Structure 1
Amino acid sequence: MPGAADLMPGAQDERLDPRVAREAAQWLMRMHPAAEPDEAERRACLAWRASHAQHELAWQRAQQFNDRFVVLPPELGKAALGRKTVRQRRQAVTKLALLLTMAPAGMLAYKHMPVAAWRAAYRTATGERRSVQLADGSRVEMNTGTAFDVVIDDVQRLVLLHEGELLIETAPDSHGALRPFRVRTDEGFIRAIGTRFNVRRDAAWSEVAVFEGAVEVAAGEGKRIVAADEQLRFTAHGLAATEPLVSHQAAWVDGMLQADDQTLAAFAAELTRHRRGWIRCDPAVAGLRISGSFQLDDTDQVLRAVAATLPVKIRFHTPYLATIVPA
């Protein structure tokens, strides 16, 4: 049976037929350990998955959604199937099927951390922020959905950023060897030069923003010094142009999301990083502009504030899926 990596290119972005999505949700419910599936049911499930490529894709997505959001509660197995439990099972299957059908293409991969991130020594969940002090005295602020490891030994101080965003304030190295402080992402290396800086990794790019001191960025075949009040995006292929620092780049540390004449689509994508679920933006309103400061600890309230200031309304389909549509 093919895994997610074995599916045809682009399959992970494929929209699912609502009927197939509901069947996948039903099969996932029937195959839950609490439902005590027998051998005949397992074979029937395998046959359904093998009968069409979209069946297997729907099955994989259903597993990933449920692993992250626990849409199908474990207690809704075969035991005690009273009228209330049957109704709860139907509601759970309907919610999962709706998520499978309506979730924006590519967003599952965006929300689903790689294996290295799940195994990282330091992690934050969606909507969580955390402060960490490293063994050398450096301070690290972690944004939502972040995972990193650290290696501090006799020759180096190395942060391995797998996913997410960090604000780092490096401490002077008291070690006699004056070990360099570096951050590595899949796209390149950042070497700190006595500094306070922000590093973000998102999909296939990384970005560094420098508030104090300077950093040296190495990516592809290039190297560049990024000074205070500058920021730079880079990929594994090289460096983009250095740009002036966006003043509110690290507003998230104070639990704020700052928008400065931002498109509504871009704002919704950024807000989604801090929400357990997804926010879809209807193309009819995606180009509307928004400015302001918003508290990240209540994303529902942020959405209501958006609806109060722009000609839009918010539809909450499930606790995990909201859509911004024209008013």
Structure 2
Amino acid sequence: MGETRAIVLADGTQVVLDTASAIDVRYSAGERRIVLRAGAILVTSAHETAPVYRALLVETPHGTATALGTRFSVRIEDGASQVAVFQGAVALRPSQDGATPVRLQAGQRAGYTRHAVQAVTGVEDNAAAWTQGSLVAERMRLDALLAELGRYRHGVLRCDAAVAGLRVTGVFSLRDTDRSLANLAASLPVQVRYRTRYWVGVGPRPAA
């Protein structure tokens, strides 16, 4: 919990796993398949050296993302798979028969369900910040930020409804979430209360 992990696959492909993420690797004579079970990964594909080219693809419950000489991330969240391309290109193919595949170029991102690929947008500069242990917020709601920080720590992290809508901008550590909470308390009208090490609440700061 709270840590990313980097692995190198048999062909040299590099995979960084986000916290609470799980993959299966299924390489065969015909393809290089990474099955993302949960969470998020950043993939830097290796040049294929086998005599017969094997496509590198990431499978999720919603379909596949096939690498075309690339560096890209895949995340499962909110009933869809989110793909961001940093180098090269990726072909998205929803799992439902007849669904239209979409090719993403470097600098593009899109979500997809089993039925269709959603709107293609630009990749934020900080989209892969989690691989460096950082969360970059730009006018992010406090409750959303705390939900993300909560993925990187044990126990419960609650946000009081009275402060949930506060907007937050800044860079926060995912490796030291207690320090991130202290920074929030120093910059916002909020108080961080530790009932125990594993039960933390963020609410309004009491009036002086």
The TM-score normalised by the length of structure 1 is: 0.60
Whole-Å separation in 2 of the counterparts to 1:319 and 1:205:
33
Match of 1:193 in 2: 68
Secondary structure of the structure 1 residue equivalent to 2:147: helix
Match of 1:228 in 2: 106
The one of 262, 266, 277 aligned to 2:155 = 277
The one of 22, 42, 57 aligned to 1:167 = 42
Whole-Å separation in 2 of the counterparts to 1:257 and 1:292:
8
Query: Deviation of residue 281 (structure 1)?
Result: 1.2
Query: Deviation of residue 250 (structure 1)?
Result: 0.7
Unaligned runs of 5+ in 1: 1-125
Q: What are the within-5 Å matches in structure 2 for residues 1-327 of structure 1?
A: 126-219=1-94, 220=96, 221-327=99-205
| Alignment coverage as a number of residue pairs | 202
The CA deviation string for residues 253-274 of structure 1, in whole angstroms up to 9 with x for no partner, is: 1111111111111111111111
Secondary structure of the structure 2 residue equivalent to 1:236: coil
Match of 1:112 in 2: none
> Which range is displaced more, 222-231 or 232-241?
232-241
Query: Deviation of residue 203 (structure 1)?
Result: 4.8
Whole-Å separation in 1 of the counterparts to 2:104 and 2:155:
35
Secondary structure of the structure 2 residue equivalent to 1:177: coil
Secondary structure of the structure 2 residue equivalent to 1:286: coil
Larger Cα Rg: Structure 1 or Structure 2?
1
The TM-score normalised by the length of structure 2 is: 0.93
The CA deviation string for residues 241-296 of structure 1, in whole angstroms up to 9 with x for no partner, is: 01110110111111111111111111111111111122211111111111111121
Whole-Å separation in 1 of the counterparts to 2:120 and 2:170:
26
Q: Which aligned segments of 4 or more residues in structure 1 are displaced greater than 3 angstroms?
A: none
Ranked by relative contact order (alpha carbons within 8 Å, sequence separation 6 or more), the top structure is 2
Amino acid at match of 1:261: R
Unaligned runs of 5+ in 2: none
Amino acid at match of 1:159: I
Secondary structure of the structure 2 residue equivalent to 1:322: strand
